[in-house]
Structure 1
Amino acid sequence: MIPTLTTQRLTLRPFRLDDADFLFDMYSRWEVQRFIGREPKVMTDRTEAIERAQRLASLDHPVHGVWAITETETGRQHGALLLKELPASGSTEPLQPSGNIEIGWHLHPDAWGRGYATEAATRVLQHAFDNGVSRVLAVTYPQNAASQRVALRIGMRDLGITEDYYNATCALFGIDRPAESPATPPTE
């Protein structure tokens, strides 16, 4: 089961089937979708959101996942935070894992500019490093300055432009586990 994580303002929880309406509202907006995927497109049918909610709700991994970013005090949803295997560029579909871990964020426009992506991503990085992940990468469209600013705010370094992932030209960012973070999951 994907663990629930918390920050000062946010609860990062597994997605549920009843999140379909939020997912449809967020992913049916061009301003959200324009920098997602090799060929960005908006959701046009609520059935797509139901299918995505079902897929996200079924994820079961102790470290990787896709979390619903929610405001702890109100329960209001703000977006999604991803920590997953990063696909390598290649000639066959589906693309194969690169051996690297990717962090990413998709925020509803109503949540932009409030620091939610930075806060959520910082917490998920901590979760990854506490569970033995040694390096996390982020890829963005080269034009996606807002996501690049988030990557820098969470301590990632700009690693330049690459075509190593997603069969796309991406701006690449990376961060290594700090020396003081445990190399293996804590035991209690």
Structure 2
Amino acid sequence: MQIANTARLHLSLMTLDDNALLFELDQDERVMHFLNGGIKSTQHQIDTVMIPRLAQYLNPQKGWGLWKVQALDCVENDKHQLSGQYLGWILVRPMHFFTQSQPHNIELGWRFKYVSWGKGYATEAANAVMQAVSTVDEVTHVSAIAVEDNLASIAIMKKLGMQFQYKRLHRDPLGDTEAVFYQKRV
């Protein structure tokens, strides 16, 4: 699957060799705040946990994986001094992949560098990815989850047209989290 560039962004599927980019992103406590209280990931965690997890759901034909988001060289990005920079990623995988996979219901997630926050990059990238994965025949829904206090991520979900479904425990082998679930029928 390919995703066309947006006005400001280039999106490409990350590979299992992109561990340095994953590490780089996780070195800001603000980025990690709603994930684990602000604890930076170690390179060892990236190599032994994140990359093996990515390997389990990476499926280029269906668009599953982490979509690397890079700022294009353009006037808008130059204004923010971000042209050419790696900004973050958009997650795509079946909802509840590690516990009760739902290939018809695609989970979207995002993690972006602090310098890009509040400029619409996450929404722009997530919307482009959502539009692309929605064309896969078996996909009927896109969903996203966040801790209830993560108002910025919830705002992105709403901008994508997702609606609140429920609040409950999100089960994951790495640890369960109380989360709000949003969803959109495609």
Both structures adopt the same fold (TM-score exceeding 0.5): yes
| Structure 2: runs of 5 or more not aligned | 74-82
Deviations 1:82-106 (A, max 9, x none): 1112227xxxxx5332553210110
Cα deviation 1:15-40 (Å, max 9, x = unaligned): 24664433222112221122226x87
RMSD, matched Cα: 2.7
Post-superposition shift, 1:146? 0.6
- Contact kept in structure 1, 2:31 and 2:38, CA below 8 Å: no
Q: Which consecutive aligned stretches of 4+ in structure 1 deviate over 6 angstroms post-superposition?
A: none
CA 1:31/1:160 → structure 2, altered by over 3 Å: closer, same or farther?
A: same
Q: Secondary structure at the match of 1:121?
A: helix
Structure 1: state its 5+ residue gaps.
89-93, 178-188
C-alpha deviation, 1:79, in angstroms: 0.4
Q: Which residue is equivalent to 1:42?
A: 40
Question: What residue number does 2:88 align with?
Answer: 79
Identical aligned residues as a percent:
27
Q: Confirm or deny: 8 A CA contact 2:8 2:72 kept in the other structure.
A: yes
Count of residue pairs the alignment pairs up: 169
Rounded to whole Å, the distance in 2 between the matches of 1:121 and 1:160 is 21
Aligned equivalents of 1:152, 1:146: Cα separation in 2: 10
Aligned pairs for 1:1-188 (under 5 A) are 3-16=2-15, 19-36=18-35, 41-44=39-42, 46-49=43-46, 52=50, 56=54, 59-63=58-62, 64-73=64-73, 74-87=83-96, 95-98=99-102, 100-132=105-137, 133-163=139-169, 165-166=171-172, 167-177=176-186
Q: Distance in 1 between matches of 2:183 and 2:106?
A: 10
TM-score (norm 1): 0.76
TM-score by length of 2: 0.77
The structure carrying a bigger helix percent of its residues is 2
State the distance in 2 between where 1:118 and 1:163 align: 25
1:5-62 deviation line (CA, Å, top 9, x unaligned): 421111111224664433222112221122226x874213x34445646875893332
SS in 2 for 1:124: helix
Deviation at 1:164, TM superposition (A): 5.2
Query: Secondary structure of the equivalent of 1:36?
Result: helix
Q: Which amino acid aligns with 2:159?
A: R
